[in-house]
Copies of this chain bind each other. A is one copy, B any other.
Amino acid sequence: MGEKLLLHEDPRSGNCYKIKLTAALLSVPLDTRRYDIMKGETRTPEFLAGINAHGRIPVLQVGERMLPESNAACWYLAEGSALIPDEPFDRAQMLRWMFFEQYSHEPNIATLRFWCRFIGESNLSQPQKAQMMPKRIAGQEALATMDRHLQEREWFVGSAASLADIALYAYTHVANEGGFDLAPYPAIKSWLERVPSLPGFVEMA
């Protein structure tokens, strides 16, 4: 990977952490530039014109090219490494859990963490307040699905850690900050203890 890698990030974001964890596990050098999403720093005209027209971080900059979406950035870093399974069905299963993460996990578990920890429940809008309970239930359903899957295996796909584990670890290991109790999910708890034993593992900021 000859081109310089720069991660546009907010260190409080689990989506940014995924990319830093992937880079660390692969010993890939990665510079970072920080933005405060609470101050609207990813919605400035400069950011929208030069980094991501969709106004979101993380964005992985590869030379002069921009790659938004956390799981796509992880994929780019990990192509050809052991973090992506060789076997085609396993590779698709890995992507399955990464899409599950973005569709069924992140919008519930990460969003409730953001609202509870960074916005504050009393500062939420009425539409946000109305979503607290549906997101709580959908988040628990996602955790239950993960727990059932992990009851029979150590890692989400195949016999080794893959990007599926990294993507799901990012917000699961801080789910308590969104008010999620992991006690009913013992297989998740065991898996959460397994991830930090990976060589090169780094903590979230």
**Partner-B contacts on A (CB < 8 A):** 53-54, 62, 65, 67-73, 75-76, 79, 88-89, 91-93, 95-96, 98-100, 102-104, 106-107, 126-127, 130-131, 133-134, 141, 145, 148-149
In the complex, A96→B69 CA distance in Å?
5
Assess whether A99 is in contact with B99, with CB atoms less than 8 Å apart.
yes
Assess whether A75 is in contact with B54, with CB atoms less than 8 Å apart.
no
Assess whether B104 is in contact with A92, with CB atoms less than 8 Å apart.
no
The 8 tightest CB contacts between A and B, nearest first, are A130-B130, A76-B92, A72-B96, A69-B99, A72-B95, A69-B96, A127-B130, A54-B145
Indicate whether A73 sits within 8 Å of B92 (C-beta atoms), given known contacts A127-B130, A127-B133, A127-B134. yes
Say whether chain A's binding surface is mostly helix, strand, loop, or mixed. helix
In the complex, A70→B100 CA distance in Å?
10
How many monomers of this protein are in the complex?
Answer: 2
List, in ascending order, chain B residues with CB within 8 A of A67's CB. 89, 92-93, 96
Assess whether A95 is in contact with B79, with CB atoms less than 8 Å apart.
no
Q: Which of B71, B89, B126 contacts A99 (CB 8 A)?
A: B71
Assess whether A100 is in contact with B130, with CB atoms less than 8 Å apart.
no
Q: Which residue of the partner chain B has the closest CB to A106?
A: B103
15 pairs from A and B in contact (CB 8 Å cutoff): A67-B93, A67-B96, A68-B96, A69-B95, A69-B99, A69-B103, A70-B99, A71-B99, A72-B95, A72-B99, A95-B95, A99-B102, A103-B107, A127-B133, A130-B130
